[in-house]
Amino acid sequence: MTTLFKNGNIRTVDSACPTADAFVVRDGKFAYVGTLSGAREALRRTGPADQEVDLGGQAVLPAFNDSHMHFVHFAKSMRSVNLSGTKSIGEIQERIRAAVEKRSAGDLSWMEGEGWNQDYFIDEKRFPNKFDLDSVTGEVPVLIMRTCFHIGILNSAGLRALRLNRDTAPRYGNLIDLLEDGEPSGIIKENLLDTVKPMISTLDFPLIKQILCAAQGEAFAQGLTSVQSDDVGYMPGSDYDLLFRAVGELEEAGKFHLHLGEQCLLQKKDLIREFFGKGYRCGALTDRCSINCVKLLSDGSLGARTAAMRAPYFDAPETHGLPSFTQDELDGLVLTAHENGAPVAIHAIGDRAIEMSLDAIEHAGKAMPGRRFRDGIVHCQITDPALLNRFRELDVLAFIQPIFIDYDMNIVDSRVGPALAATSYAWKSMQDLGVHASFGTDCPVEKFNTMPNIYSAVTRKNLTRDAVGEKTYLPGQRMSMERAIRAYTVESAYAAGQERERGSITAGKTADFIVLDHDLFHLASDEDILKTRVLRTYVKGTSVYEA
């Protein structure tokens, strides 16, 4: 099938041919990009087009690629109790109570809720606990997760189901919060929460396929045709084979068109070895699914004060946060991934966690000097100039989420102090140094809506203005629109090792592109970024979404 797309305002994100007004798609790939006359000449030599599409002067970009999110979690969250925007523990209770009342009599299966943030509570800015949930849940086991997904709250029924009690709690150390009598309060953190999530999963094979199909439509509406996702640890029983089988069957049936690149959460050496020992390798599994890297979690979140810091928290001097590993443990995990041919993407938010991650990557590089891996750090929030320079020196990728500053600009000074805050979220400085920085959203921590993410990058302004009005955080770190679009397209493809296949409108690459109702490079005001909508999304030259 050959299609001529003409009369477009096309930004290719290809320095060899930055703009165009036409391109030819043949068998799912760009066959020619340039002028309409050039396209017609190319078709004269190779054979006529089967159809022509007039773009009517509308703006065209390569399709977006979210470089870090949790796609299956997002898909599943569409069925969870939505706690986003709650302003009090009482409002959380009201939403949970309403969900319990809708259940069939005798249904004691797990209920999950997510999205609350105690910093937005109007009265007590504390974490909920089991007592808050018990009053509205009865014997239904419940887990509600903070918006960062590093803190979870279990009710008493949930604690009993998981056998978390006075006797078993000590083995988990500071990952479980205890009351004065030694009983769990219901608050669990970090690695313990990650262990619990697949244990209580209500997913099964048919449901996984159903929610994947539903969620890909939401992605297409945002101009996303590729996502890089941490899903392996979210499967029931951490059964990653289940995920890959579901995607494979959907693709074979012609129902799955999103490109899903897996950042595989494997937090132990034996799990890494087991995974690759089963025959999995980094690279393409199928046309629409690939394995990109091993994912590691080295600390928590800033909002929960579990991000690992070199100095004590400015507003909580009793804690430095929660590093997930010792340096030796992290060194060993990165080296084990490399020995199995896989790069790593390490979740690191605090400056201590980032330093440890860079040290581990450097250690692995020295242990295997003949091999090069596109290792990266996910989030990269609390930094100083020395850490930024190490990204460049070690050629470490930065998986960044500009949308994070909407919330974090309100807490970063109080969490880490003004001096360190002034050198953090310094993504333009990374780009200036030549660091490969790609855009993602960490969805469902934030929505994977693309325009607010771009807006945050190029304006550094807050989106949430109810109580504080308009604020700008470190305006010197604003990115140009050109750099922002590049980070969302070809840099995200580079982070997945796929820059030769996607990320720009270039002859030979997969024809994934979008049509917008505004030209992002010529807007009357920054606010028009937020008004911009995706009109159509194409995968392999075929429309998969139309507004």
3-state SS, one letter per residue, for 179-193: CCCCCEEEEEEHHHH
Contact 474, 430 (CB under 8 A): no
| DSSP code at position 524 | S
Which residue has 């887990």 as its token pair? 143
Q: How far is CA 78 from CA 49, 155, 207, in A?
A: 41, 22, 12
pLDDT value, residue 194: 87
3-state secondary structure of 34: strand
pLDDT at 447: 93
Where do we find the tokens 């078709």?
43
Q: What is the spatial order of strands in the sheet that 142-146 belongs to? A: 81-82, 111-116, 142-146, 151-154, 184-189, 176-178
- Can you give the length of the chain in residues? 547
Structure tokens at 422: 């002034």
pTM value is: 0.89
Q: Supply the pLDDT for residue 202.
A: 74
Q: How far is CA 105 from CA 100, 140, 389, in A?
A: 10, 11, 59
Q: Give 461's DSSP letter.
A: B
In this prediction, residue 113 carries a pLDDT of 93
- Whether the Cβ atoms of residue 80 and residue 517 lie closer than 8 Å to each other: no
CA angle, residues 484, 73, 99, in degrees to nearest 5: 125
DSSP H helices in 405-448: 405-408, 412-416, 418-421, 427-432
Chain centroid to CA 512: 20
Report how far residue 264's alpha carbon sits from residue 297's, in angstroms, rounded to the nearest whole number. 11
Kindly give, in sequence order, each residue whose CB lies less than 8 Å from that of residue 76, ignoring residues fewer than 6 positions away. Answer: 201, 203, 211, 234
Report whether the peptide linkage leading into residue 206 is cis, meaning its omega lies within 30 degrees of zero.
no
d(CA 34, CA 505): 10
Name the amino acid, one letter, at 252: E
Collapsed DSSP state (helix, strand, coil) of residue 474: coil
DSSP, res 227: E
CB 54 within 8 Å of CB 6: yes
Scored b (16 or more CB within 10 A) or e, 379-399 reads bbbbbbeebbebbeeeebbbb
Task: Please state, in angstroms and rounded to a whole number, the distance separating the CA atoms of residues 537 and 120.
Answer: 35
CA dihedral 342, 347, 351, 352 (to 10 degrees): -70
Give me the phi and psi of 331, to 5 degrees please. Answer: -55, -45
Rounded Cα distance, 503 and 104, in Å: 47
> Cβ distance 336 to 273 under 8 Å?
yes
Contact (Cβ atoms closer than 8 angstroms) between residue 511 and residue 57: no
Alpha helices (runs of H) in 113-239, residue ranges in sequence order: 130-137, 156-161, 190-199, 205-221
Question: In angstroms, rounded to a whole number, what is the distance separating the alpha carbons of residues 177 and 187?
Answer: 5
CA atoms of 200 and 78, how far apart (whole Å): 17
The span from the CA of 113 to the CA of 249, in Å, is 29
User: How far, in Å, are 10, 92, 254, 481 from residue 61 at the CA level?
Assistant: 6, 41, 25, 12
Over the chain (547 residues), the average pLDDT of each successive run of 10 is 98 97 98 97 94 98 98 86 93 95 90 91 92 95 92 96 95 94 95 87 84 94 98 79 93 96 96 95 94 97 94 96 96 98 98 98 96 96 98 98 96 97 97 98 95 98 86 97 98 97 98 98 97 98 97
Instruction: Output the pLDDT for position 191.
Output: 87
Domains of the chain: residue spans and CATH: 2-57+510-520+523-546 (2.30.40.10), 81-199 (3.10.310.70), 298-479 (3.20.20.140)
CA distances in angstroms from 12 to 15, 274, 296, listed in the order given: 8, 41, 34
Token pair recorded at residue 232: 């392996």
- Tokens at residue 397, please? 């990728």
In the Cβ-directed half-sphere of 443, how many Cα atoms lie within 13 Å? 27
Question: Which run of H or E residues covers position 229?
Answer: strand 224-229
Residue 465, CA distances (Å) to 392, 410, 469 in order: 35, 11, 4
Pairing relationship of beta strands 142-146 and 111-116 according to DSSP bridges: parallel
As a whole number of angstroms, the distance between CA 480 and CA 76 comes to: 35
* Residue appearing with tokens 């030549």: 434
According to the model, what pLDDT value does residue 75 have?
87
Q: Give the residue carrying structure tokens 């769990």.
A: 184
